[in-house]
Amino acid sequence: MLLDEAALKEALKEFTGDVEQIPPMYSALKHQGVRLYELARQGKVVEREPRTVHISEIKLGAVTADSFELTVACSKGTYIRTLVEDIAKAIGGCAHVAELRRTGVGKLNEGDMITLSTLEEAGEGEALDAYLQPIDQALGAWPEIALTADSAYYLQNGQPVQVPAAPTTGLLRLYDDQQQFLGVGEILSDGRVAPRRLFVKNRA
């Protein structure tokens, strides 16, 4: 079967937005406490519930008689191999992924990537430090709040605190009054900010 580029372009329209996927057997999801990939290695196949993922964008790249390239912007939990298989089925064929490359996560993109060989050559010390980025840079999509010294103290000891003008829901980046990143917090149902995952120990 030769690829029909027009049919492929039309099919891609159905795979943007919220999409239902059945997780592959070779995945880390569990069935009755056992990883699916462990069952798959035993030759077993079990029923998996569909999961909803979000595909923000699909760009079609090079197309040949028997292959095509895609650039996909998607939500966490998306199985790209399953996506490719489903797209192929939609045009009456079958497909597998020959090459898969992650080009970005959140605000971090391909331009921020460093090869392992570069890191190995840097060794330790200042040469390596030049490649390190602040941990909170990976969390840039979440809103940030600055805590008073007292609020930071209580929060670092596991106690929720009231913070004026905090968002009403969701996860947050937490900073103390010295703009030091403390970690991730979440908004409780009563509006208080609670610690979710902290990276700085109480300095008291």
Domains of the chain (ranges; CATH) run: 5-101 (3.30.2350.10), 135-198 (2.30.130.10)
Longest dimension (CA), the chain: 69
Pick 133 or 173 by higher pLDDT: 173
Least confident of 49-58, 127-136, 160-169: 127-136
Q: Give the mean pLDDT of the chain.
A: 91
Please say whether the beta carbons of 82 and 23 come within 8 A.
Answer: yes
200 confidence band (pLDDT: 50, 70, 90): low
70 beta partners: 60
Cα separation, 198 vs 159, in Å, equals 12
Residue 189 clears pLDDT 70, i.e. is over it: yes
Residue 51 clears pLDDT 90, i.e. is over it: yes
- What are 93-120's pLDDT values in tens digits? 999 999 999 998 877 888 888 889 999 9
Instruction: Please tell me the pTM assigned to this model.
Output: 0.72
* Predicted local confidence at residue 1, as pLDDT: 64
- What are 7-24's pLDDT values in tens digits? 999 999 999 999 999 999
